[in-house]
């Protein structure tokens, strides 16, 4: 399980990105999801972003990648989404967003 946490000054615009965009690398067969401000969930990972103003930036984004997960197994998507629905809000609560 790999996590990447980062802040940006602008919203990442996940829905407008191409499936070949390097930002979406590691999230196969992604679909939009209703988590945070914007999210994509795939068979082997997810990316979720929310407005969170801190000294580091205006938008907090969390990327989850499961390198051992099969990109062919559609059942993985539900597991990834369930995990992110629990983990992401808990992670955001620790950030002291303004």
What would the pLDDT profile of 26-78 be if each residue is shown by its tens digit?
A: 899 999 999 999 999 999 999 999 999 999 999 999 999 999 999 999 999 99
Residue 16 pLDDT: 86
Q: Domain for residue 76, yes or no?
A: yes
Is pLDDT above 90 for 15?
A: no
Instruction: Please tell me the pTM assigned to this model.
Output: 0.92
Is pLDDT above 90 for 18?
A: no
Check: CB of residue 76 under 8 Å from CB of residue 66: yes
Q: Domain for residue 98, yes or no?
A: no
Number of domains in the chain: 1
Cβ count near 35 (within 10 Å): 21
Q: Domain for residue 42, yes or no?
A: yes
Q: Domain for residue 40, yes or no?
A: yes
Cβ count near 87 (within 10 Å): 16
Is pLDDT above 90 for 92?
A: yes
Q: Domain for residue 27, yes or no?
A: yes
Residue 33 structural domain? 2-93
Q: Domain for residue 13, yes or no?
A: yes
Q: Domain for residue 43, yes or no?
A: yes
Distance between CA atoms of residues 23 and 46, nearest Å: 11
Is pLDDT above 90 for 20?
A: no
Q: Domain for residue 52, yes or no?
A: yes
Tokens 């930002």 found at: 23
């Amino acid at each position: 399980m790999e996590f990447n946490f980062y802040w940006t000054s602008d919203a990442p615009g996940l829905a407008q990105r191409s499936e070949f965009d390097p930002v979406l690398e590691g999230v196969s067969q992604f679909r939009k999801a209703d988590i945070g401000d914007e999210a994509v969930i795939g068979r082997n990972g997810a990316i979720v972003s929310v407005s969170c103003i801190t000294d580091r930036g205006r938008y907090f984004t969390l990327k989850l990648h499961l390198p051992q997960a099969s990109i062919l197994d559609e059942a993985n998507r539900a597991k990834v989404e369930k995990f992110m629905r629990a983990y992401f809000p808990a992670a955001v609560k620790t950030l002291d967003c303004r």
